[in-house]
Amino acid sequence: MDRQLKGSVSLPGSKSESNRVLMVAAYGGFSFEMENGKRRTENGKLSEAHDTVLLKQTSLRAERSGAWQSTEEVIIDCEDVGTASRFLMSYLAGKPGTWILTGSPRLRQRPMAPLVEALRQLGADIAYLEAEGCLPVKINGKKLQGGSVLIDASQSSQFVSSLLMAAPTWERGLQLQLKAEAVSMPYVDMTIAIMRHFGAKVERRVDSIEVQPGAYQSKPFVVSPDWSAASYWYEMAALSDDCDLLLEGLTLDSLQGDAVVAEWFKAFGVQSSFEPQGVRLTKSDDSLSQEPLVFDFTMTPDLFPAVFVTCVALHRPTVFRGIQTLSLKESDRVTALVTELLKCYHFDYSINHNEIILNTSSLLHHKIASENIVFDPFGDHRVAMALAGLFLRLGSVSFHHPEVVSKSYPTFWSELQTYF
């Protein structure tokens, strides 16, 4: 089988950067200007991911609803987008009107309690309408003063980012104390960097963050290509026999913590060359060690799917740490990936709350033809994209509901089609 991967890929704009810039613009009351950058004319565009499109639509609906003039409740449906629900929670809590914030059945299972509790301590009026700690909620929006609050960020850094972006609009700003074991903190650092870009005064310490009151200022902003999306191409590079692939516009000087994928995939023989046009991926000719690998996903959980599939497909014994939040995503990602990979690989693993150990894996089941395997992504975009790379080993892949990739990477299948 020919396992060559050569050409170029246009990555989507960073969903994480786009979502934060949208919220800052909503708080600042302006439509930000985007620079196109020097590398490619596409750089600087907002992500076209479903998550970003929905956040833009819902924030605009809240802005234009006129809820403050009416006693009627305005329903804001975040569908399956956790980022939108958490970012809008703080936004609506400080916006006069009566709001019902809800979402899909899966989103209504995902945790909200730490953010709700923090906002309540700051004076917000939020009530659960069904299960305690989850959507839907009723928010009686009003002007918030801000102040000091302690938050548990062990389940999601989005709770922290949500409060931070709202804080400059509060008269007392925010003095935020973080409980131990906060996760995904590179996303908080991204939030702070974007806030500072638009004029906010933020001081970051080891276990606390202080935000001064003050208006956001409208400025141009360059949205970078998405490093999380790049992880699936790193996976495919690792699974190829020969690779010369340009990831257009990608740069190492990124706000995104997932850029660590370039370092991690050296263990699989994938080399990253940073060029003016982007990052070029090639395969090393060096003999790779088969010593067990160790990865910790506490700060970069979105990299788990690509790394896990790579290790199973390449039969690499690996310890995966910091996986405690993966059950809280669009799917239980560990369960989803193990379930689907067992359709085509034998592997031994053990799992507990915070760690999965991949002991050994063997060849493809001889009795199952690869064309008869249909993967179920469990409604999760990252599960689908990680499993897609297996076409380099199985010859072809099929999916139920392949459209789930639109959540973060709408052009994924069209980009991938060149290599099938």
Distance CA 130, CA 145 (A): 28
Distance CA 200, CA 167 (A): 9
Residues comprising the chain, all counted: 420
Q: Which residues contact 219 (CB under 8 A, 6 or more apart)?
A: 32, 33, 197, 198, 199
Query: Which H or E run contains 20?
Result: helix 15-28
Do the strands 97-102 and 73-77 form a parallel or antiparallel pair, or are they unpaired?
parallel
Q: Which residues are catalytic?
A: 302
- Mean pLDDT within 265-276: 96
CATH number of the domain at 15-211, out of 3.40.50.300, 2.60.320.10, 3.65.10.10, 3.80.10.10?
3.65.10.10
Q: Is the pLDDT of residue 359 over 90?
A: no
| Candidate from 27-31, 118-122, 382-386 with smallest mean pLDDT | 27-31
| Candidate from 109-113, 313-317, 368-372 with smallest mean pLDDT | 368-372
Sorting pLDDT into bands at 50, 70 and 90, what band is 33? low
Q: Is the pLDDT of residue 286 over 70?
A: no
Query: Which H or E run contains 140?
Result: strand 137-141
CATH 3.40.50.300 fits 225-417, yes or no: no
Q: What are phi and psi of 121, to 5 degrees?
A: -65, -25
pLDDT confidence of residue 67: 64
pLDDT confidence of residue 181: 77
| Selection from 149, 143, 184 nearest residue 163 by Cα | 149
| Cis, bond preceding 136 (omega within 30 deg of 0) | yes
Distance CA 374, CA 377 (A): 10
Q: Hey, what are 268's tokens? A: 């699989």
- Using the CB atoms, write b or e for 386-400: b if 16+ within 10 Å: bbbbbbbbbeebebe
- Mean pLDDT within 176-182: 86
| CATH 3.65.10.10 residue spans of the chain | 15-211, 225-417
Percent of the chain predicted with pLDDT > 90: 80
Distance CA 33, CA 223 (A): 11
**Average pLDDT, rounded, for the chain:** 91
Alpha helix positions (H), 47-156 = 50-64, 82-93, 113-121
pLDDT confidence of residue 309: 97
Q: Hey, what are 342's tokens? A: 């067992």
The half-sphere exposure of 110 on its side-chain side, counting CA atoms within 13 A, is 28
- 334 close to 359: Cβ distance less than 8 angstroms: no
Q: What are phi and psi of 5, to 5 degrees?
A: -135, 95
pLDDT tens digits, residue range 183-227? 899 999 999 999 999 999 999 998 999 999 999 999 999 999 999
Q: Is the pLDDT of residue 37 over 50?
A: no
Q: For the residues of 73-98, what is the DSSP string, one character each?
A: EEEEE-TT-HHHHHHHHHHHHTSSEE
Q: Hey, what are 158's tokens? A: 């989005």
Q: What are phi and psi of 162, to 5 degrees?
A: -60, -45
Q: Percentage helix, strand, coil, to 5, in the chain?
A: 40, 25, 40
Name the residue type at position 170: W
